[in-house]
C-alpha cells in the first residue's frame, strides 16, 4: 500500500481522492467534473486494506450498503411482529400452539411455527439488532477519524483544479486596479466566519462542528442500545405488582426481603356535585356518572433489620409514612411504588346469630374472620358451632360439589354444624350469600346473617429501572446530534489571489442558497464578480440542449 | 508497518468487544425464563417455615438429602390432584433420604388443616404467611415443584399436576 505524494508536497494515505492539503485531485476522475466532496475525499479506512479476516469483517460492517440493508431487514422483521399479537399478549390460559391456529387459521399456524409469536426476543432478531449496532459504531469510526484529520489539516492555498471544480466558482480578472480584500474579510468575519490567511490567499470557514452531528447522533444511539441491553441483566429492571389489604403488611416483591410495606388505608374519592368545591363539574358528573377524584393509599414503609431468611420472623425499622396517589409514587432507594389498581369493599368478616327458626330466639352470635376462620365457635353454655367447611370463593364444580376457586373471600360459603342442648349431635347447615341449604333434613336452628365488615385492597406496581438514565442520556445525545447536524451548515469560502486574477470558490454540506447569500453580501460593491453555481449552470445548459434539440 | 499493526490490533479489540456484547445480550435473553422463575442449577434460596405441627424447617438443614419442594393452594385443583401421589411416594422415599416440603401460598390455618385431614398428609406442610418464600422462588403458577438435590441446588422446576409415576421419577433424580 503506497502513500500518495501530492505536487504540493503533502503525503496522503492510500485511497485519498483529493489532496488533504491543497485539494488537488489525486484520483483519476474525469476532468471538468465537479469534485465529490464527501468525507473531504479522504481515504476511508475500510477501503485502504483488504487483507486479514479482521479487516474483511471490519470492511463488511463499515459499508453503508450493509448498514442500510440491516436497517431494512430490522424494519421488515419488526413489522412482521405486529401482524399478530405476541405470545405475552394472548390469554395466559391458552396454549400458544392451539391458540394461534384457532384464532387465525393456517396463517396463525405458520406464524407460530416460524416462531414469530416471540419475535422480539428471538435469537435472529437480537442478532440483527446487534449487528446494526456494530455497523453503526464501525462505520462511524471509519469515517469520523479520517474526516476529522483532513478538516484539521486542510490548507488555505488550494490547487486551481480544486477551485475550478467546486460547485460555486468565480473568476475575477484583474485589470489596472488591484482589489483590496480587507473589506471582504471584515464582512465575512461579521458573518462569523473564521478567517485563515496564507500568502494573501484566504480560507473562510464556519459551522465545522455541524459535520460531527451524525457521529454524535450515532453515539447516542449506541448508548441507547446499551441501556436496552442492560434491562435483561438481573437487578437492573424490576416490574412487579403488590396487592395489600388494609391493615396488611407484606414484603415488597423484588427487594429480596429488604423492604416491607403496610397499607393503612385506601381511599377512593369521587367528585361530589353537591359540594361547593365540585359544583362546576356537575354537568360532567350528570353525563358520565361517578368520576374518580383521587386514588390514595396511605402506607408505611419498613426496612428489615439485619439478615433474615424468607419465612423467618423479621425485625423491622419504620422508615416513613407516605400517601401514594396516581403520579405521586413512593420513591425510595431506586424503587418506586405506583398506585395501579384497587378493590373496594372486599369482605373481611361475616357475623351470624344462632337462632331458633320458629321462635326466632337468639342463642348467641359469632363473627367469622374470612381470612382466618376458626374451627369452633363457643357460644353460651351448651351452644357451640363447628365450622366444617369454608369456601372463600365458592362455586359448584362439575360434579355439583361445593369448592373454592381462589383464596380471596369474594363469595364466601360455610358449612356449619350447630350444637344445642336439645340437638347435642348437631344440625348441619350450608350457608352461602342469600342462600341456606339444609342437606341433612329439616333443622330446628339456623345461622342468621348478622352483617359484614369490609376492607379495601390496594394494588401497587413495584418498579425499579436503573437503565432509565442510560436510555435518557442516549436519547438526549441522539437529539443533540440531530440538531447539530441539521440546524448548522459547514460553509467554506476560498479566495485565491493570482497575478492577474482572483479565484473564488465555495462549498457547503447543505443549504447552498445560504452560502451564496453569504458570498453575495461579502463581495457586494467590490469589483469581485459574483461566482456561479456550476451545478445549476449545468442543469440549465442541458435543459437548453433539450429545448434546442 | 507499525501503524498498520496497531490498526489491526485496535480493530481486533473493538470487534471482540462488540462480539462479546452481542453474545452477552443473547445469553442473558435466553437464560431469562419467561416467568422469570429461578434458573435451573442455581442455589435454592434458603428459608425457614414452621409446619402445622409447630416444627421449624430450615432448608439448609436438609443438606445431604434431596428435597421435593412443592408450592400449592387448597383452591388449586391440580395441586389437590397430585397430593395423594406425593403422600404415597413420600412413604417410599423418606427412608431413602428424600424429603417433601409442601408450602402453602398464604392461606388460613383452618383451610390448610382441613386439607391435611381430608387427604391424610403425613409430610411437613407449612404456610408461607408473608409470601416471602414464594417471592424468593418467584412462584407464578400453581402447582410448582422445585427439585433440590443434596448439594442444595435446584436441578429442575416442574409446573402443573404430576402423576404418581412422574413424581417417583423426579424423586429418583434427587435421591442422594
Domain ranges of chain B: 1-32, 48-174
Mean pLDDT along residues A162-173: 90
Residue A49: pLDDT band with limits 50, 70, 90: low
Taking only the tens place, the pLDDT of each residue in A280-322 is 788 887 888 778 888 999 999 999 888 888 888 888 889 999 9
Please report, rounded to a whole number, the percentage of residues in chain A having pLDDT higher than 70: 94
| Cβ–Cβ < 8 Å for A246, A263 | yes
Confidence of residue B35 (pLDDT cuts 50, 70, 90): very low
Question: CA nearest B142 in A: which residue?
Answer: A406
Range of lowest pLDDT (A6-20, A408-422, B27-41): B27-41
Candidates B126, B157, B120, B121; CA nearest to B142 is B157
Whether the Cβ atoms of residue A281 and residue A272 lie closer than 8 Å to each other: no
Containing H/E element for A242? strand A237-245
Distance (Å) from the alpha carbon of A270 to chain B's nearest alpha carbon: 33
Write down the CATH superfamily of domain B48-174: Glutaredoxin (3.40.30.10)
Of A71-80, A85-94, A512-521, B88-97, the one with minimum mean pLDDT is A85-94
H/E segment holding residue A190: helix A182-190
Q: What are phi and psi of B54, to 5 degrees?
A: 90, 5
Whether the Cβ atoms of residue A247 and residue A263 lie closer than 8 Å to each other = yes
Q: Is the pLDDT of residue A502 over 50?
A: yes
Cα dihedral B159/B161/B167/B169 (nearest 10): -60
Question: What would the pLDDT profile of A331-377 be if each residue is shown by its tens digit?
Answer: 998 899 999 888 888 888 999 888 888 888 888 888 999 888 988 89
pLDDT band at A545 (very low <50, low <70, confident <90, very high): very low
Q: Which residues of B touch A406 (CB under 8 A)?
A: 75
DSSP state of A393: B
Which residues 139-178 of A are in CB contact (within 8 Å) with B?
141
**pLDDT band at residue A439 under the 50/70/90 scheme:** confident
Say yes or no for a CB contact (<8 Å) between B130 and A123.
no
The answer to whether B132 contacts chain A (CB < 8 Å) is yes
Give the whole-angstrom CA distance, residue B83 versus residue B60. 24
Average pLDDT on A204-208 reads: 94
Q: Which pLDDT band holds residue A492 (cuts at 50, 70, 90)?
A: very high
Question: Is pLDDT above 90 for A214?
Answer: yes
Measure the CA–CA gap between A363 and A422, rounded to whole angstroms: 13
- Alpha helices (runs of H) in B74-156, residue ranges in sequence order: 77-93, 109-119, 132-136
pLDDT bracket for residue A1 (50, 70, 90): low
Q: Per mean pLDDT, which range of A57-66, A231-240, A264-273, B149-158 is the poorest?
A: A231-240
Number of A–B residue contacts, CB under 8 Å? 112
| Segment among A119-123, A396-400, A466-470, A536-540 with least mean pLDDT | A536-540
Q: Which residue has the higher pLDDT, A278 or A531?
A: A531
Give the number of other Cβ atoms within 10 Å of residue A269's Cβ.
10
* Contact assessment for residue A290 and residue B113, using Cβ atoms and an 8 Å cutoff: no
CB contact under 8 A, A310 and B58: no
Please spell the DSSP secondary structure of A1-62, one letter per residue. ---EE-TTS-EE-TT-SB-TTT--B-S-PPTTSPP--GGGG---HHHH---SHHHHHHHHHH
Give the torsion sign (CA, B17, B19, B25, B27).
negative
Contact residues on chain A for B130, CB-CB shorter than 8 A: 250-251, 311
pLDDT mean across residues, chain A: 86
Percent of chain A with pLDDT over 90: 30
Residue A344's Cα: distance from chain center in Å? 33
More confident residue, A196 or A401: A196
Q: Which residues on B lie below 8 Å from A131 (Cβ)?
A: 22
Q: Looking at beta carbons, which residues of chain B come within 8 Å of A375?
A: 110, 113
d(CA A362, CA A364): 6
Higher pLDDT, residue B141 or B90 = B90
Length of chain B (residues): 176
pLDDT of residue A479: 97
Q: Residue B68 forms beta bridges with which residues?
A: B100, B147
Higher pLDDT, A42 or A316: A316
The pLDDT assigned to A32 comes to 65
Q: What is the pLDDT of residue A546?
A: 45
Give me the pLDDT at residue A194, please.
Answer: 94
- Angle subtended by helix axes B2-31 and A213-230, to nearest 10: 40
**A364 shares contact with chain B (CB less than 8 Å):** no
Q: For residues B106 and A318, give the distance between their C-alpha atoms in angstroms, rounded to a whole number.
A: 24
CB-CB neighbors (< 8 A) of B112 in chain A: none
**Mean pLDDT (whole number) for A14-40:** 76
- Determine the pLDDT at residue A50: 60
Amino acid at each position: 500500500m503506497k502513500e500518495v505524494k501530492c505536487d504540493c508536497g503533502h503525503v496522503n494515505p492510500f485511497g485519498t481522492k483529493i489532496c488533504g492539503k491543497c485539494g488537488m485531485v489525486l484520483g483519476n476522475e474525469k476532468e471538468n467534473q465537479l469534485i465529490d466532496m464527501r468525507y473531504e475525499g479522504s481515504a476511508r479506512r475500510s477501503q485502504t486494506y483488504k487483507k486479514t479476516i479482521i479487516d474483511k469483517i471490519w470492511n463488511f460492517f463499515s459499508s453503508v450498503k450493509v448498514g442500510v440493508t440491516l436497517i431494512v431487514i430490522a424494519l421488515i422483521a419488526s413489522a412482521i411482529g405486529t401482524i399478530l399479537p405476541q405470545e405475552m399478549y394472548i390469554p395466559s390460559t391458552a396454549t400458544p400452539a392451539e391458540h394461534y391456529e384457532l384464532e387465525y387459521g393456517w396463517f396463525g399456524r405458520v406464524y407460530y411455527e416460524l416462531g414469530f409469536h416471540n419475535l422480539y426476543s428471538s435469537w435472529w432478531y437480537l442478532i440483527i439488532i446487534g449487528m446494526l449496532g456494530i455497523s453503526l459504531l464501525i462505520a462511524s469510526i471509519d469515517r469520523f477519524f479520517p474526516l476529522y484529520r483532513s478538516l484539521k489539516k486542510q490548507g488555505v492555498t488550494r490547487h486551481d483544479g480544486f477551485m475550478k471544480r467546486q460547485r460555486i466558482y468565480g473568476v475575477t480578472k484583474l485589470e489596472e486596479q488591484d482589489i483590496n480584500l480587507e473589506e471582504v474579510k471584515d464582512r465575512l468575519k461579521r458573518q462569523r466566519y473564521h478567517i485563515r490567511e496564507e500568502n494573501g490567499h484566504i480560507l473562510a470557514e464556519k459551522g465545522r462542528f455541524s459535520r460531527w452531528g451524525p457521529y454524535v447522533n450515532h453515539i447516542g444511539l449506541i448508548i441507547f442500545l446499551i441501556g436496552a441491553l442492560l434491562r435483561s441483566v438481573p437487578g437492573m429492571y424490576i416490574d412487579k405488582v403488590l396487592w395489600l389489604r388494609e391493615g396488611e403488611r407484606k414484603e415488597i416483591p423484588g427487594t429480596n426481603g429488604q423492604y416491607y410495606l403496610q397499607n393503612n388505608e385506601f381511599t377512593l374519592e369521587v367528585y361530589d356535585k353537591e359540594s361547593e368545591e365540585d359544583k362546576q363539574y356537575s354537568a360532567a358528573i350528570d353525563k358520565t356518572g361517578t368520576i374518580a377524584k383521587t386514588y390514595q393509599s396511605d402506607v408505611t414503609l419498613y426496612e428489615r433489620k439485619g439478615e433474615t431468611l424468607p419465612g423467618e420472623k423479621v425485625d423491622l425499622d419504620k422508615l416513613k409514612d407516605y400517601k401514594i396517589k396516581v403520579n405521586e409514587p413512593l420513591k425510595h432507594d431506586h424503587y418506586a411504588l405506583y398506585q395501579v389498581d384497587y378493590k373496594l369493599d372486599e369482605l373481611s368478616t361475616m357475623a351470624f346469630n344462632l337462632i331458633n327458626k320458629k321462635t326466632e330466639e337468639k342463642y348467641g352470635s359469632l363473627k367469622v374472620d374470612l381470612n382466618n376462620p376458626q374451627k369452633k365457635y363457643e357460644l353460651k353454655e351448651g351452644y357451640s358451632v363447628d365450622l366444617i367447611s369454608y369456601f372463600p370463593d365458592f362455586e359448584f364444580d362439575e360434579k355439583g360439589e361445593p369448592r373454592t376457586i381462589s383464596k380471596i373471600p369474594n363469595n364466601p360459603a360455610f358449612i356449619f354444624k350447630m350444637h344445642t342442648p336439645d340437638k347435642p349431635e348437631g344440625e348441619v347447615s350450608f350457608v352461602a350469600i342469600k342462600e341456606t341449604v339444609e342437606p341433612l333434613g329439616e333443622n330446628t336452628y339456623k345461622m342468621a346473617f348478622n352483617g359484614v365488615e369490609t376492607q379495601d385492597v390496594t394494588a401497587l406496581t413495584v418498579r425499579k429501572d436503573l437503565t432509565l438514565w442510560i436510555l435518557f442520556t442516549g436519547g438526549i445525545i441522539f437529539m443533540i446530534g440531530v440538531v447539530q447536524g441539521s440546524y448548522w451548515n459547514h460553509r467554506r469560502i476560498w479566495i485565491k489571489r493570482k497575478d492577474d486574477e482572483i479565484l473564488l470558490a465555495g462549498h457547503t454540506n447543505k443549504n447552498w442558497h445560504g452560502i451564496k447569500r453569504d458570498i453575495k453580501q461579502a463581495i457586494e460593491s467590490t469589483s469581485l464578480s459574483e461566482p456561479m453555481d456550476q451545478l445549476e449552470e449545468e442543469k440549465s445548459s442541458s435543459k437548453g440542449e433539450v429545448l434546442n434539440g | 508497518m507499525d501503524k498498520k499493526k496497531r490498526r489491526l490490533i485496535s480493530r481486533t479489540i473493538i470487534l471482540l468487544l462488540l462480539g462479546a456484547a452481542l453474545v452477552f445480550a443473547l445469553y442473558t435473553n435466553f437464560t431469562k425464563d419467561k416467568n422469570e422463575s429461578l434458573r435451573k442449577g442455581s442455589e435454592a434460596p434458603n428459608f425457614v417455615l414452621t409446619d402445622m405441627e409447630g416444627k421449624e424447617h430450615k432448608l439448609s438443614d436438609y443438606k445431604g438429602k434431596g428435597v421435593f419442594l412443592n408450592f400449592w393452594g387448597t383452591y388449586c385443583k391440580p395441586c389437590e390432584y397430585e397430593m395423594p401421589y406425593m403422600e404415597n411416594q413420600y412413604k417410599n422415599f423418606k427412608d431413602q433420604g428424600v424429603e417433601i416440603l409442601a408450602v402453602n401460598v398464604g392461606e388460613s390455618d383452618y383451610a390448610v388443616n382441613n386439607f391435611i385431614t381430608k387427604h391424610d398428609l403425613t409430610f411437613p406442610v407449612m404456610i408461607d404467611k408473608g409470601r416471602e418464600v414464594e417471592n424468593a422462588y418467584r412462584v407464578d403458577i400453581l402447582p410448582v415443584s422445585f427439585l433440590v438435590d443434596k448439594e442444595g441446588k435446584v436441578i429442575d422446576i416442574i409446573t402443573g399436576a404430576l402423576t404418581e409415576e412422574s413424581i417417583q421419577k423426579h424423586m429418583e433424580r434427587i435421591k442422594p
